[in-house]
Amino acid sequence: MSEGFPISVTGLNHWFGMGEARKQAIHGVNLQVERGSLTVLMGPSGSGKTTVLTLMGCLRDVQDGSVQLLGHELKGADRALNEALRRRLGFIFQAHNLHGSLTALQNVLMGLQVHGLTDRKAQQDAARHALSLVGLADRMEYLPANLSGGQKQRVAVARALVGNPDVIFADEPTAALDSESGMTVVKMLKKLGQLRGTTTVMVTHDNRILELADRIVTLEDGRIVRDTAS
């Protein structure tokens, strides 16, 4: 691992489009994220925070510069490495992206079965526990269509956390939640960092979360303009 950082970004540049439409979205970003920390990426729309998040989460190919994730260089990484690394990550999307045909419990189980179906009973128990933690013990057999927006987001959070990921990438995870539920989720992420050393990188516009962040990184026009430790 690059000097002990689970995430280390050096000289990262990224472009979108081709030919004359090619536009640089990220300009020489450097960032090291400490293990177990809760880092918040802020900035106006189009500032590049989501692009940085997807590059760090090996969801997008690194074009220029270096991104080290959990000790592996992502530039030039093949599909197998990307898949292996993704299995060590947890993603919480702004749109919950739950599978509509699966119950809440089955959606959470998908977060475990990516590691193989070793002990079915243990996986069921873990999934039930994760749903209980987000307050959905009584909604386990519900299909997403029968859950409210907040409940769906909590299922997505349980799905991201159930596999005990090393790093969690979250994009506006509290957008669909009321203030109390939102704070509960962020506190849970913070607690995971303290207990398990889970690193969280979160994109948010929610100012209420900032007080819980260990570090706030602000981007504008694809550049880091402010980097504040709490």
Partner 1 sequence: MSRLLQWLFGRLPIGWLQLTHSRTRFAAALAGVAFANVLVFVQLGIMNSMATATLKPYEFFQADIMISAADANSMTEGGNVARQWLFQALADPDVTGGTSLFVGNVSWARTTKTLSLTTYGIDPSLPAFLSPAMARKTGTLQLSNAGILDMFSRGLPREEAAAIRPQTPTSFEVSGTTLTLYDTFQGGGGFGGDGFMMVSDQTFFSLFPARSSAAPDHILLQIARGANPDVVAARLRELISDKTLRIRSYTQAAAEDLSYQQTKRPTGIIFGFGVIIGILVGLVIVYQVLSTDVADHLSEYATFKAMGYPQRFFLGIVFEEALILAILGFIPGFIVASGLLAGMKKVTNLPLAMTTDMAVMVFIGTLIACTISGAIATRRLAAADPADLF
Residue among 179, 127, 180, 183 at smallest CA distance from 155:
127
Minimum gap (Å) between residue 129 Cβ and partner 1? 18
Comparison of 187 and 222: residue with beta carbon closer to partner 1: 222
Comparison of 12 and 98: residue with beta carbon closer to partner 1: 98
Minimum gap (Å) between residue 21 Cβ and partner 1? 18
Using CA atoms, how far residue 129 sits from 17, 33, 99, 133, 155, in Å, is 44, 29, 20, 6, 12
By CB under 8 A, tell whether 63 contacts partner 1. Answer: no
Binding test (CB under 8 A) with partner 1, winner from 7, 104, 109, 140: 109
**C-alpha–C-alpha distance, residues 207 and 53, integer Å:** 19
What b-and-e string marks burial along 117-134, b requiring 16 or more CB atoms within 10 Å of the CB?
eeeeeebeebbbebbebb
List residues bridging with 227 in a β-sheet: 217
Binding test (CB under 8 A) with partner 1, winner from 69, 91, 181, 186: 91
Q: How many residues bind partner 1 (CB under 8 A)?
A: 32
Q: What are the residues binding partner 1 (CB under 8 A)?
A: 50, 53-54, 57, 59-60, 79, 83-89, 91, 93-95, 97-102, 106, 109-111, 113-114, 117, 171
